[in-house]
Amino acid sequence: MRVLVVGGGGREHALCWALAGSPLLTKLWCAPGNPGIAEVADCVPIGAEDIPALVEFARRESVELVVPGPEAPLTLGLADACAAAGIRCIGPSAEAARLEGSKAFCKQVADAAFVPTAAWARFEDADAARAYIHAQGAPIVVKADGLAAGKGVVVAQTVAEAEAAIAEIMEARVHGAAGASVVIEECLVGEEVSFFALCDGTTALPLGAAQDHKRVGEGDTGPNTGGMGAFSPPPAFTDAIQGEVMARIIRPTLAEMAARGTPFRGVLFAGLMLTAAGPKLIEFNVRFGDPECQALMLRLRSDLLPALLAACDGELARFDLRWEKLSSLVVVMAAEGYPAAPRKGSVIQGLEAAAAVPHAQLFHAGTARREDGALVAAGGRVLSVAATGPTLLAARDAAYAAVDAVDWPGGFCRRDIGWRALG
Ligand code: AMP
Ligand code: GLY
């Protein structure tokens, strides 16, 4: 099987690492990849959003399966373009990817499918939005409707904060066109969990849950990021809760998407709040989370490749996935200045020593090779340092032992990944 993974972050490194272990694999490419991915796949210098070039490459190399990591190629129609070229792609059509691309669309589908979610309203007019905020009171959540790289959400503790968010998003347009409309939501309270299901249009298979750490600072403080660490499974996410999520959130959503003529194929990522009244949907994404994917791939015992093929071919119903009875934990190491202005070019050393820590696994994200061969920081989130263990505590200790072996003065990480479960 000839496979092309699209993307170049820690998530894509984890996907390549998992796929590289498949006996079905004959050739693995990654576009654009990164220096870590280059150890398990051939990296191709094509941007993850260059749909025509990706499809042309896949056609030329007789790629049999395309595995997109990030959402952007999906919202840009990579799955549609692959379908038109007769190439399998495990991701939703652009139409189905609107579940992530438009928060209002996500809420409409959720309501139509009776999925438990926060009460909401959408506004294109800033004054009307302000009036609604005054009527509802705080705390309240204000979101730019379009894609804003995870940064268009303000959980406002006061009415003044919510009004300031309207001014920034709708009037100053700090997220550009994504702020032409806003979704305003009831503030949900509880433990936040990311849940993943592999979908073939009609059947969904649980891929497990993880807990992310979105704020840059310890104790969940400071600005939002793409995610500073994750662990799996979250102790709060019991089998009973998973059953409820599948029955009340995932399956009804799949049925609704199919009924609309836009069946969902790919990885459905439900951002959940475990509230006192049961699990509620915060949002859908149409892909694996980063760094949640790294945590999940370390626990997957089954071969990922046949599962992805079965999802493409509508044959998930006869499929099952097996997981190691282990915990995993991922610490993201970011470049100083992240998320506002990460500094590029600092030299990273010690990765061999880190990888030699028992049960540790390193995934690259924003790394690059300098001309002299040195590994340097080239992005915000630079490394995912992950580990498994019989307990979450053991996984955490192994992950931080590996972090401590990394010699990178230009980077930083949170020292408290897992704190919600471990204290
Ligand atoms: P989103 O981009 O929609 O995932 O939102 C980013 C973060 O804001 C989420 O991970 C939550 O922590 C928080 N958030 C979003 N919507 C709500 C809500 N309705 N209630 C409470 N927190 C929320
Ligand atoms: N870690 C959250 C995300 O990938 O959206």
State how far the Cα of 190 lies from the Cα of 187, in Å rounded to an integer: 10
Instruction: Show which of 138, 159, 180 is a domain's final residue.
Output: 180
Q: Of 140, 155, 180, which residue is a domain's last?
A: 180
Number of domains composing the chain: 4
Q: Could you please report the per-residue DSSP string of 27-53?
A: EEEEEE--TTGGGTSEE----TT-HHH
In-domain check, residue 399: yes
- Which of 318, 346, 375 terminates a domain? The answer is 318
Q: Per residue of the chain (423 residues), give pLDDT as tens.
A: 999 999 999 999 999 999 999 999 999 999 999 999 999 999 999 999 999 999 999 999 999 999 999 999 999 999 999 999 999 999 999 999 999 988 889 999 999 999 999 999 999 999 999 999 999 999 999 998 876 655 678 999 999 999 999 999 999 888 888 788 899 999 999 999 999 999 999 999 999 999 999 999 999 999 889 999 999 999 999 999 999 999 999 999 999 999 999 999 999 999 999 999 999 999 999 999 999 999 999 999 999 999 999 999 999 998 999 999 999 999 999 999 999 999 999 999 999 999 999 999 999 999 999 999 999 999 999 999 999 999 999 999 999 999 999 999 999 999 999 998 998
Task: Count Cα atoms within 13 angstroms, Cβ side, for 15.
Answer: 34
167 with 208, same domain? no
What spacing in Å lies between the alpha carbon of 384 and ligand 1's midpoint? 23
CA atoms within 13 A on the CB side of 270: 33
| 101 in any annotated domain | no
Question: Residue 184 pairs with which residues in a beta bridge?
Answer: 121, 142
274 and 332 both lie in a single domain:
no
pLDDT at 383: 98
User: Does 98 reside within a domain?
Assistant: no
Same domain, 380 and 411: yes
User: Which pLDDT does position 203 carry in this prediction?
Assistant: 98
Is the beta carbon of 290 within 6 A of some atom in ligand 2?
Answer: yes
Q: What is the pLDDT of residues 276-335, one digit of tens each?
A: 999 999 999 999 999 999 999 999 999 999 999 999 999 999 899 999 999 999 999 999
The CA distances from residue 90 to 5, 58, 290, in Å, are 10, 14, 17
Among 141, 212, 216, which residue has the most ligand 1 atoms within 8 Å of its CB, making it the best to mutate?
141
Domain of 69? Answer: 2-89
CA separation, residue 288 to residues 9, 12, 73, 240, 269 (Å):
12, 9, 13, 23, 6
Angle at 69 between CA 64 and CA 74, to 5 degrees: 80
CATH number of the structural domain spanning residue 373: 3.90.600.10
The CATH number for 257's domain is 3.30.470.20
Establish if 358 belongs to a structural domain: yes
What's the CA gap between 258 and 323, in Å, rounded? Answer: 29
Q: Are residues 171 and 199 in the same domain?
A: no
Query: Which positions ≥6 away from 186 have C-beta within 8 Å?
Result: 118, 119, 120, 136, 140, 141
Whether 196 and 290 map to the same domain: the answer is: yes
Whose alpha carbon is nearest atom 5 of ligand 1?
A: 153
Per-residue confidence (pLDDT) for residue 149, from 0 to 100: 59
Same domain, 363 and 303: no
Residues 254 and 224 in one domain: yes
Task: Let me know if residue 8 belongs to a domain.
Answer: yes
Strands of 305-421 (E only): list them: 327-335, 360-364, 367-369, 375-377, 381-389, 411-412
- Ligand 1: residues whose CB is within 6 Å? 118, 141, 143, 150, 153, 155, 185-188, 192, 214, 271, 282-283
CATH number at residue 135: 3.30.1490.20
d(C-alpha 64, C-alpha 86), whole Å: 9
229 lines ligand 2 (CB under 6 A): no
Q: Is there a single domain that holds both residue 197 and residue 298?
A: yes
Residue closest to 4 by CA, chosen among 38, 52, 43: 43
Q: Which residues contact 190 (CB under 8 A, 6 or more apart)?
A: 273, 274, 275, 276, 280
Q: What is the pLDDT of residue 102?
A: 84
* Domain of residue 82, CATH code: 3.40.50.20
Residue 218 shares a structural domain with residue 163? no
Q: Which tens digits make up the pLDDT trace of 2-50?
A: 999 999 999 999 999 999 999 999 999 999 999 999 999 999 999 999 9
Name the closest-CA residue to atom 4, ligand 2.
289
Residues 171 and 290 in one domain: no
How far is residue 136 CA from its own chain's centroid? Answer: 31
